[in-house]
Amino acid sequence: MEPIVKKWYDSLERGKIMGTKCKDCGNVDFPPISVCRKCRSRNLEQIELSGEGTLLMYSVSGDTPGAKFAPFTPFAYGQVLLKEGPLFATKIEGVPINTPEEIEKGNKELPAPVKAKIIDGVGGMKVVVFEKI
């Protein structure tokens, strides 16, 4: 496992959500990466993120990549803008997902605040999801 990936999972085990901040341009990325997406610098530091953000939109997926993922479907997947700046796609909890009408109504209530939480994923591996608050 790459050192940056190991640090990521170790931080989740400790209940911390980490990102990287470029020491050259100040850009913040999530999850942590080894090269700045903005200026391509490798001069990065790991920083703890607030876990606060804004849900911009979401959709629902019922597809499963295999039987071990079946308990996790259907699920909402959306665009979150973190307080620190990164925009990314992630699993969303606390939004309506049962019918197309519910999903449409839920998206009309956006943007909305979300908060990160660390949960046990497949195989007990810690993962980050965001919950609408």
Tally the domains of the chain. Answer: 2
User: Residue 129 has what DSSP assignment?
Assistant: E
Q: What is the pLDDT along the chain (133 residues), one digit of tens a residue?
A: 678 788 889 999 999 999 999 999 999 999 999 999 999 999 999 999 999 999 999 999 877 667 777 777 788 999 999 999 999 999 999 999 989 999 999 999 999 999 999 999 878 889 999 999 9
Q: What are 7-24's pLDDT values in tens digits?
A: 889 999 999 999 999 999
Side chain identity at residue 74, one-letter code: P
Based on the domain organization, do 59 and 45 belong to the same domain?
A: no
Look at residues 128, 131, 123, 4 and name the one whose alpha carbon lies nearest to residue 66. Answer: 123
Q: Beta strands of the chain (E only): which ranges?
A: 18-22, 28-29, 44-48, 52-61, 75-82, 87-93, 112-120, 126-132
Instruction: Determine contact, residues 87/124, Cβ cutoff 8 Å.
Output: no
Q: Which of 49, 72, 89 is the last residue of a domain?
A: 49
Give 46's contacts (C-beta < 8 A, 6+ positions apart).
7, 11, 18, 19, 20, 21, 32
Q: What are 25-45's pLDDT values in tens digits?
A: 999 999 999 999 999 999 999
Based on the domain organization, do 61 and 22 belong to the same domain?
A: no
Based on the domain organization, do 60 and 41 belong to the same domain?
A: no
Residue 55 domain boundaries: 50-133
Q: Which of 49, 64, 83 is the last residue of a domain?
A: 49
Based on the domain organization, do 1 and 29 belong to the same domain?
A: yes
The three-state secondary structure class of 48 is strand
Side chain identity at residue 22, one-letter code: C
The token pair at 103 is 């999903």
Rounded CA-CA distance 16/29 in Å is: 15
CATH number at residue 90: 2.40.50
Q: What is the pTM of this model?
A: 0.86
Based on the domain organization, do 72 and 99 belong to the same domain?
A: yes
For residue 50, CA distances in Å to 29, 47, 98, 107, 129 come to 13, 10, 30, 24, 13
Based on the domain organization, do 39 and 87 belong to the same domain?
A: no
